[in-house]
Amino acid sequence: MDSSTSATGLWSRVVGTQPHPSLWLVLVTGLIALAAVMPFRVWRITRNAVTIAHEGGHALVAVLSGRRLDGIRLHSDTSGLTVSRGRPTGLGMVLTAAAGYPAPSLLGLAGAWLLAAGHITALLWGATALLAAVLVMIRNAYGALTVVLAGASFVLVSWLTGPPVQAAFAYGVVWFLLLGGVRPAFELQRKRRHGGAADSDADQLARLTNVPAVVWLAMFHLVALCALTGGGRWLLGL
């Protein structure tokens, strides 16, 4: 087989559609994702994946709004930091600060749309590409290790497993993003109630826009819950 034929076949595989899994698999992967989000001890580990999406959201919007992206750092306490240069005020800075908390939920919603359309392979490969882009901007060892492990899981599933395993993995990841995207806003709300997180995204946005932080926090809640509702309906075929 020549290279052009191989490339054509590979492209067809990526953009093509795959059969929808059974409803029981969709429900089981949702329950597994919920188990990865609810228990605090498990969440301390799995939250790293949400942090990657959170900081990736900051980074993507910073670049799209014309800011210069300096790098991303991920920490072992599941916190993260994205540093960009540009005007300290203005629309670009507001959009960049606002992008973090909604990012996991919006990624989950986009993933649910792809799965509802039968594009399981496209989702796996797209996620791998996004993780590779994040890896380029990582500026610390722990962050690099976290992103490499996440990317490796997508690569291994894409190349070494069959359609049933790929479908289960893809649905599990999307359920996790949708469910995991809800919890951070509640955590932030609890920290602010106890006088913590004074430099949170919501508080930065309040200083940038003169809109109270509680309003921004409500927006984070609204996006996450709407994404979970809409994405869940797509995944369940409703």
pLDDT, tens only, 185-212? 999 999 998 887 778 999 999 999 999 9
According to the model, what pLDDT value does residue 180 have? 98
15 three-class SS: helix
Q: Which residue has the tokens 């020549």?
A: 2
**8 found inside a domain:** no
Give the model's pLDDT for residue 17: 78
CA-based nearest residue to 181, from 39, 41, 53: 53
Residue 86 lies in a domain: yes
Residue 103 placed within a domain: yes
Residue 9 pLDDT: 61
Do residues 47 and 76 make contact, with C-beta atoms less than 8 angstroms apart? no
Q: What is the pLDDT of residues 145-156, one digit of tens each?
A: 999 999 999 999
Q: Which residues of 16-47 are buried (b: 16+ CB within 10 A; e: fewer)?
A: eebebbeeeebebbbeebeebbeeeeebeebb
Give burial (CB, 10 Å; 0-12/13-18/19+) of 86: middle
Q: Tell me the CA distances in angstroms from 83 to 68, 79, 118, 180, 189, one per residue in order.
A: 9, 14, 36, 24, 24
Is position 170 within any domain? yes
In the predicted model, what is the mean pLDDT of residues 170-187?
97
Max distance between CA atoms of the chain, in angstroms, equals: 64
Closest by CA to 104, choosing from 180, 167, 21, is 180
Q: How confident is the model at residue 12 (pLDDT cuts 50, 70, 90)?
A: low
DSSP β-bridge partners for residue 144: none
Distance from C-alpha of 31 to C-alpha of 95, rounded to nearest angstrom: 33
Task: Note the pLDDT tens digit of each residue in 67-102.
Answer: 999 999 999 999 999 999 999 999 999 999 999 999
- pLDDT score of 144 more than 70: yes
| Total domain count, the chain | 1
Q: Which domain holds residue 142?
A: 49-236
More confidently predicted of 68 and 2: 68
- The tokens describing 86, both together, are 């540009």
**Tokens encoding 55:** 């900081």
In a domain, 180, yes or no: yes
Percentage of the chain exceeding pLDDT 90: 86
Locate 115 and state its tokens: 């799965």
pTM for the predicted model, two decimal places? 0.93
- Domain assignment of residue 24, yes or no: no
Whether 186 is in a domain gets the answer yes
Residue 75 lies in a domain: yes
Q: What string of DSSP letters covers 112-130?
A: HHHHHTT-HHHHHHHHHHH
